[in-house]
A and B are shown apart, each in its own frame.
Chain A
C-alpha cells in the first residue's frame, strides 16, 4: 500500500500519449471536416444517421472514441501524478478516473453501436 500505483514505469503511457495524439490530430480533423463542411447547416438526427448507418463509419468512430478517451484519461492521470501525492487521495482520484473513463467509453460505444436498433 505504501507505493500504491507505482508498479509501472509509465513508459508506455508516455509513448502512447504521443501516438494517440497524432492519431487524434488526423481523426479530429476528419471529424471537424465532416461535421462542419461536409454537412450543410445545423446538424440533425437525419444527417448524422446517413453516415452512421454504415459499418465503416461506425468502426472509425469507435476507434476515434477509444483513442480520445484514452488520451484524455491518460492526460488526467499525468496531472494526478504531478499534483496528488497522498496515497489515499491518489487511490480515490485514480479510481474515480478509471470509473469515469470506462463509463463514458461505454456510453459512447453504446451510442454508436445501438443506432440502428433505436431508429
Chain B
C-alpha cells in the first residue's frame, strides 16, 4: 500500500489539540472498557467473589482514579458531539469552529470540576 508521508506539520491549533485529546481519551476508554468487563464478570462467579473485587475497586485509591475516568468520558462525549456537529451541523464554519472547541474545553472542565470535587471529598472521607 502506498503511504503518503505528511509534507507539513500542523500547528497546535485548538482543533488539533481537540483531535489529539479525543484520540488519547478514546484509547484510554477502550482499555478501561475491557478492564471494566473483566472486573464485572466476577458477578457471574457469585456474591463473595463479586463483593471482594468491588471492595478493591471502590477503595479510596480507585475513587480518586475515578475522577480521571469522569474526565475522559466527559471530554470524549462532548467533543464527539462537537465532531458530529462539524460533520452535520454548522460547527465547521470558520467563525464558529474555534469557538466550539473552546466551548468543548470549558464545558468539559466545568463538569469535571463540578463532579470531581464531591468525588474527591467522598474518597477522602473514608
Which residue numbers of A lie inside 8 Å of B, CB to CB? 2-3, 6, 18, 21-22, 24-25, 28, 42-46, 48, 52, 65, 68-69, 72-73, 75-76, 79, 85, 87, 100, 104, 107-108, 110-111, 114-115, 118-119
A-B pairs with lowest CB-CB distance, top 7: A72-B30, A45-B47, A45-B50, A114-B44, A108-B37, A111-B41, A85-B3
The B interface, classified by DSSP as helix, strand, loop or mixed, is helix
Are A68 and B41 in contact, with the CB atoms below 8 A? no
Q: Which of B46, B47, B55, B87 has the largest number of chain A CB atoms within 10 A?
A: B47
Are B37 and A107 in contact, with the CB atoms below 8 A? yes
Task: Compute the total of residue contacts between A and B using a CB distance below 8 Å.
Answer: 83
- Known: A76-B30, A100-B34. Contact between A28 and B73, CB under 8 A? yes
Residues of chain B contacted by A75 (CB below 8 angstroms): 26-27, 30
The A interface, classified by DSSP as helix, strand, loop or mixed, is helix
